[in-house]
Amino acid sequence: MKIAVLGATGRTGRPLVATLLDRGHEVTALVRDPSKVTGSGITVVAGSSTDPDAMTALVAGADAVVSALGPTSKESDLHTQTAQILVDLLPAGARFVGISGAGIDVPGDQKGGRDKFVSKLLQTFGGGVAKDKATEYEVFAASDLEWTLARPPRLQDGAPTGSYYSDAHKPGRSTSLRRGDLATFLADCLEQHLFVRQAPFVSER
């Protein structure tokens, strides 16, 4: 597939791009600084995910879009802006896979006491980032895209374990996930059409 990638040079984006290339996909990456893109086989589009013109160039001819954009204090509504641009640009039924956060709540969740407490803390003290993630979900949920928003816990660097836990509404026992395993999960969602129009939890087994 031809995959358009957001956040390709970030700590999760790098293993995601590597995973997609290893699986034989064609990758087009939107980056603010093209000099940060290393390796071969990547088509680069310079710009920001909040720039409609750059996003138009990114998604042209793409079979799917995947985002590894992380939170930022510089743009408190980055994910909401990006989501709205994608909803406006992409045709009905287009595939999008991105990363949300374990702190947001969606209908049907089966969170236990620990996870409810953590969610409340994040929603109370997470500031603009927490609000941005919640609003991003609302934008995609109201759209006609075939979207998936992964909800991982604390992300860690290091070699991937090669496996993960995932469920549409029930968090796993682990409170962490390797970024490489998250990259694998995102690629699996794209290839296998998993969790369409859902925000699944994903964590270490």
Give the domain CATH number at 117.
3.40.50.720
pLDDT per residue over 64-105, tens digit each?
Answer: 999 999 877 677 899 999 999 999 999 999 999 999 998 999
Domain coverage including residue 172 = 2-203
The residues, any chain, with a CB within 8 Å of residue 35's CB and separated by 6 or more, are: none
3-state secondary structure of 89: helix
In sequence order, the β-bridge partners of residue 6 are 30, 67
Give the count of alpha carbons within 13 A of 88, CB side only. 12
Render pLDDT for 56-72 as a digit per residue (tens, 0 to 9): 999 999 999 999 998 77
User: How many domains in the chain?
Assistant: 1
Q: Which amino acid is at 178?
A: R
pLDDT of residue 73: 63
**pTM > 0.75:** yes
